[in-house]
Amino acid sequence: MLPSSAQARTASDAMAVEQFAADVRYYLSQSPPQLPSHYFYDALGSALFEAICHLPWYGITRAESRLLAAHGDEVFRRLDSLSTVVELGPGSGLKMRLLLDAAGPKPRPLTVHLVDVSQSALEIAAHTVGSGGDVRVTTHRATYDAGLREAAVQAGGRTLVAFLGSNIGNFDPPGAAAFLHNVRVALSPGDGLLLGVDLVKPEPALRLAYDDPLGVTAAFNRNLLVRINRELGGDFDLDQYEHRAVWDADRSRVEMHLVARSAQHVHIPRADVDLRLAPGDPIWTESSYKYRTGDVAALLQACGFRLSAQWIDRQDGFALTLAEAA
Ligand code: AVI
């Protein structure tokens, strides 16, 4: 018999596949058909995203790392008596480690809570964040909202929530506001929010960032079909989908699509999907919203935060904003 922790993991894996199937069924039935971008991040998708972060055309990670290294000490100075940090979607954990290193010696014990739906991502991030030996690390395998609630219950004293990497850009505007509002509800007045946001920049730079000449972003996009084939028994013919990235200036977002090169008839038995696509029909897989600095401030204020500081990386057009729960 499996030990109870392994049984719990198997049960939660089964629930995750059921949710995946339900989402695939629902979103592919929309017009145009869609797939939620958070399903990009299986083990291969996470590795491809890590590779994207190293691409010369994708500046988000480098810009944010520069800002964290340069201003991390000020983040901690502005939030004196900080005892808890919660990072939502920590990725490899390297950025949190950078922030903690920039902060220098900690005057009081600090617990870092890492929240992610992926167990493998959490294990890697926990190892990286804990490697400095200066913090206690706790992990929560959960959605952002559920993980934040869990962490907030366990938190003692002043708390900082970090939401980095422009992950906020993958929410549509009402979703971003609802998300930040939920973060605010989980916090007490005086707690902090550190938000990394990619800024609007010239279209050629945006196009290269989301359609790179090495084809890594195309592989990242198509891997979603690989995942559906593997986990849900789908029969997507990968060669028949072209990666496309377009900048919609009016909506201030880069959209990624997978466009059928020829007529396609797709079956996904575990999601009960029977999908027909004509040549040129897109499946919309991601929106990545880009902000102006003033939009970030206005959004935070509308969600119950007071702006504390904002640092801009001009080289790659990125903003790191520290706000305080009002
Ligand atoms: C994770 N997220 C902020 C990335 C973005 O830029 O929207 C995901 C990504 N999509 C294509 N490249 C990177």
Dump the DSSP string for 102-116: HH-S-SS--EEEEEE
CA of 23 to the centre of ligand 1 (A): 20
| The length of the chain, given as a count of residues | 326
CA of 108 to the centre of ligand 1 (A): 35
Q: What is the DSSP string of 151-163?
A: HHHH--SEEEEEE
- Most informative mutation of 54, 166, 217, 289 for ligand 1 (most atoms within 8 A of CB): 166
pLDDT of residue 8: 64
pLDDT of residue 1: 62
Q: Which atom of ligand 1 is nearest to the CA of 49?
A: 13
- Most informative mutation of 212, 286, 289, 318 for ligand 1 (most atoms within 8 A of CB): 286
Residue 4 C-alpha from the chain's centroid: 30
C-alpha span between 319 and 301 (Å, rounded): 16
Nearest residue CA, atom 1 of ligand 1?
167
52 CB near ligand 1 (under 6 Å): yes
- Most informative mutation of 48, 116, 170 for ligand 1 (most atoms within 8 A of CB): 170
Q: Is the peptide bond before 90 cis (omega within 30 degrees of 0)?
A: no
pLDDT tens digits, one per residue of 75-106 = 999 998 899 999 999 999 999 999 999 998 88
Nearest residue CA, atom 9 of ligand 1?
49
pLDDT of residue 153: 86
**pLDDT < 70 regions, the chain:** 1-9
Nearest residue CA, atom 6 of ligand 1?
288
C-alpha span between 179 and 119 (Å, rounded): 22
pLDDT tens digits, one per residue of 253-292 = 999 999 999 999 999 999 999 999 999 999 999 999 999 9
pLDDT of residue 6: 64
211 CB near ligand 1 (under 6 Å): no
289 CB near ligand 1 (under 6 Å): no
217 CB near ligand 1 (under 6 Å): yes
